Every structure is written in structure tokens, then in C-alpha cells.
Chains A and B, each alone.
Chain A
């Protein structure tokens, strides 16, 4: 079977979410239950239709798949478990789509639920079990030197990017400012006030060069997407949002999670890297060209990741992204709107799934004030090279 055989075979048939906010009283499981009920109602499905579970909330943050199935009274025949990390959003969707395409499940519930505000000690410092484990964390953590939390790795990436290419903090500010504008059009967004360049520049430095508004929100919330076959989805309540193309997570010594390939962080070789054919499988699988993408959605835990994803998929060349994002280019109405619900920087940190839900709303033509006109293909892609392309 060639990769192209997967094109448009599966679809997202339902989406649901809990409230997003800080210090929500609900448990992580309760937030997830609310989102699952909302997704089932959205699709016109019932709990007994769910026979697959792809969860994105396990260690180090939360419960495992068996507790999720037990708590919600599911009886599933296929499971995929990833951790709650942005790098596993694509994996969860891909595994769900492949399971459906291969006949291992009919309806897979992709469930993420987060209680970050109650468990924020895991996000750096002595409680960061992930960053202090044997052989280290994934974000360049080095606890003996006091480098902890994912932000540290993003800072190392951006600092070198600035030195190599002359990018500035003022240029970087275009990213959180754009996403704040989007959030102000989104009633679910946690952030409600405009963000100015002056406010960005005068905000406290967290880990140089990342200032406060370059770092995402720490919030609670849940999101569920239901993946089923394209055929089944066409008989359900909502217009299907097809999974048209995808490509996997890149890994190796030339990769660092918070740097474009070639930047020279950790053991990456330093080179001016540009994507080639093999780095862009998702477009080919979807039968489109990069120029057909009407909007790009990415894991914006830190604002530099938005620059890096643009270079990863060749929307601009190496070292060009900081200039490229100026002048409203990534805002609604711009050439390539990104993270139109506000992203992790201004809507909420729901592990990136808040953007998956936004893609579905956009492709249903149900994004209201935020609607991208004539959106047919939208891309989820990350700075580390994985992607899913959706179409209406």
C-alpha cells in the first residue's frame, strides 16, 4: 500500500471541549468527560459507538488509557497512548486514522485533558520528573546547571537563531501579538486584553530571550476529536473534515525539539537547511501544493516555534521567518493565517488540540468572526516536522 492510499480515507466527525481556564474545579477526567460528551453530541454518535481510544494525557501528567476507559464506561478494542506533549498531537491523530483505515476500530476518540494549574510543579524545578530522569529531558534540560522546564530549550534555540540571523525580540513579538488578536475574536480564549509591542517588550524576561508573552499559558481544559471512516462520517450530523495527508515526527542527531533542522542546538549540525521532497510528504499525500494551504496551525508553546515551523515546511527560507511574520502576514486576513483561535499563547494550553478543534470549525465554515474565507485545506504542522493536512 502506498502512502497515497490513506488520502481522505478517514475524517474527523465530531469535536467537543470543556471550558478552558485557570484553576478549574473539575478533575482532569471530568474535563475529558465533558469534552467527550460534547463531541459525541456534535457528531450524533453515542458512547457505545466508540471502539478506539487515542489518549494524549498520560505520564507525566495524568491517567492512563485503562483508567480513562473505565471512568467513562467505554469498551474499546484498540488503544494508542502518547504523553501529553505537543510532539505527540500528530502521532495521536495519525494512529487513530491508521487504526480506522486498517479496520482495527470504527470510531476512535482522541482525548486530551489537562489540569496544568493544579500540577504546575511538573513544569520545571524539583517537581519536573521528566527533565530530571535518567538520560535527561527532551527539551535540553540540564538540572545541575539550573536549566529546567521546556522554556529553557526554546530559549537556547531562539538565542542562537538571533545570533546567526540577526532576528530580534521586537520581530518575535509579531507572533504573540497576532495570536492575541485572534483570541480577542474567540469567546473560549483565556486572554481577553489586546497585546501591544510595548507591553511585550516591557514584560519580564523569563529565560533570555523569551519574555513573558513568548511563553504559553498554563491552563486547564479538555478537547476531544472523533475519527472515523470517511464513508461513515458522510452519514453523520456534521460535514466531514477529511484527513488528507500526513507525515511523521522527525528524529535523530540533527533534530532538537525546539530548533529548526540545521540550527546547531545540542548535537545538530549547523547548516542552512531547506526542506526537500521527502520532507514534504504530507502535501503530496493530500494531492496539493504548499500554496494551497489556507491556514497553518502549530504547537506554539513558545513564540519561536512559530518561526521555526515556517522554515521547516518551506514557507520561507532558513533565517527568514522573523522578517516573514511581520506586517500581519500570519494574522486573519493575511497571506497565511496561523493559530486563528489564539493558540497556546492566547487561547489556552490544551496540548495543541485547541488548534485541531479550530481547524475543524474552520473547515466546516463555522468559525464565525474568525472564518478564513474559502478555506479548503488547512495544515497542522510542528517545528519538528510532523504534519496532518485536513480538507473540507
Chain B
């Protein structure tokens, strides 16, 4: 990774389907074939019932901001021009939480509980990041 480029996701065999689907502008979650629950981050087995059989299904793409922060320090040179920028955790309506960022909302309007919907942002030829935007126009 070049120090000048924004970091890209580290992909493992467990997370490959998640990132592949995002390139096709789909948010998928791993669901357990046994207990039916979805989990994040994508793991090797169902963390709830320890079953091996997982199946990837489309998420609704909706949820609420469960926490947020605004980064004021330019730790990454590649993000220096973006400071101050937000990072959020979104509690998806299926239950698991996803770390992402919010677009289309001033940082001073970020709030725990705000309804959001997923958006897709190509950041390289190989990667599309999920971000979120307010469910109601800001």
C-alpha cells in the first residue's frame, strides 16, 4: 500500500463475497442456514450457533446510526484534504453493525438514531465502499 493512497479493504476468503457483491452495488450479509441470523464482520462460521453453513443474502440496506465520530487529525496523508470527516457505525435493520461513513449530511447533523440508507462509492477499479445517506432528505 502506498502511503499516499487511501487504504483499501483487506479481503479474506471469509469476506470475499461481501466485497464482490459491493462491486455489483449490492449489500449482502452472511446468514446462518441453521438459526437464520445474519452477522458481521463476515466470519468463518455462525457466531451465534457455530454452524458452518452460511448463505449470502441481500440486506435491506437500511438502518440507524448507532455511533459516529468526526476525525479532525490527519493521521493518513491521503485523508488530509478530507479533514474533518465522519465515520459512523450503522446498526442495520437485520441487526449487525457496519462501520462506514455518511454522505449528504453536514457533520453537525450527525446523530445517534438517525435513519440511513446504503449508497455505493467506487474507490478503485476493484473496490466499492458502502456509505450511507440520510433516509429523509437532510
A residues whose Cβ falls under 8 Å from a Cβ of B: 124-126, 128, 132-136, 140, 142-149, 152, 155-157, 159-160, 163-164, 204-209, 253, 264-267
- The distance from the CB of A143 to the nearest CB of chain B, in whole angstroms, is 4
Is there contact, CB below 8 Å, between B112 and A159? Answer: yes
Of the candidates B12, B41, B87, B111, which one forms a contact with A146 in the assembled complex, judged by CB atoms under 8 Å apart? B87
Is there contact, CB below 8 Å, between A207 and B72? Answer: yes
**Residue B69 interfacial (CB < 8 Å):** yes
Is there contact, CB below 8 Å, between A152 and B87? Answer: yes
Q: Which residues of chain B come closer than 8 Å to A265, judged between CB atoms? A: 66-67, 89, 97
B residues whose Cβ falls under 8 Å from a Cβ of A: 1, 3, 6-10, 12, 39-41, 47, 66-73, 75-77, 79, 82, 84-85, 87, 89, 91, 96-97, 99-101, 111-113, 123, 127, 129
Consensus secondary structure, chain A interface: loop
Cα distance A157–B69 when bound, in Å? 9
Supply 6 further A-B pairs (C-beta < 8 A) apart from A135-B12, A164-B112, A206-B72. A126-B1, A126-B7, A133-B10, A146-B75, A159-B69, A160-B67
Cα distance A266–B96 when bound, in Å? 8
Cα distance A128–B3 when bound, in Å? 11
- The distance from the CB of A199 to the nearest CB of chain B, in whole angstroms, is 18
Q: Which residues of chain B come closer than 8 Å to A163, judged between CB atoms? A: 67, 111-113
Is there contact, CB below 8 Å, between A159 and B67? Answer: yes
Which of A126, A155, A160, A205 has the most C-beta atoms of chain B within 10 angstroms of its own C-beta?
A126
Q: Which residues of chain B come closer than 8 Å to A253, judged between CB atoms? A: 47
Is there contact, CB below 8 Å, between B68 and A144? Answer: no
Cα distance A207–B84 when bound, in Å? 9
- Chain A to chain B contacts (Cβ below 8 Å), 29 pairs: A124-B75, A126-B3, A126-B7, A126-B77, A128-B75, A132-B7, A144-B8, A144-B9, A144-B127, A144-B129, A146-B82, A146-B87, A147-B87, A148-B75, A149-B75, A152-B71, A152-B87, A156-B69, A159-B112, A160-B66, A160-B112, A163-B113, A207-B69, A207-B70, A264-B66, A264-B91, A265-B67, A265-B89, A266-B97
Is there contact, CB below 8 Å, between A147 and B41? Answer: no
Q: Which residues of chain A come closer than 8 Å to B12, judged between CB atoms? A: 134-135
Cα distance A184–B72 when bound, in Å? 29
- The distance from the CB of B10 to the nearest CB of chain A, in whole angstroms, is 5
Is there contact, CB below 8 Å, between B71 and A136? Answer: no
User: Please, which residue of chain A has its CB at the minimum distance from the CB of B11?
Assistant: A134
Cα distance A145–B101 when bound, in Å? 7
Q: Which 4 A-B pairs have the closest CB atoms?
A: A143-B7, A163-B112, A125-B75, A160-B67
Cα distance A16–B87 when bound, in Å? 42
A155 touching B69 in the complex, CB below 8 Å, given contacts A126-B77, A145-B101, A253-B47: yes
Cα distance A212–B12 when bound, in Å? 36
User: Please, which residue of chain A has its CB at the minimum distance from the CB of B47?
Assistant: A253
- The distance from the CB of B107 to the nearest CB of chain A, in whole angstroms, is 8
A146 touching B66 in the complex, CB below 8 Å, given contacts A156-B89, A204-B72: no
Cα distance A265–B66 when bound, in Å? 8
- The distance from the CB of A158 to the nearest CB of chain B, in whole angstroms, is 9
Cα distance A156–B68 when bound, in Å? 6
- The distance from the CB of B88 to the nearest CB of chain A, in whole angstroms, is 9
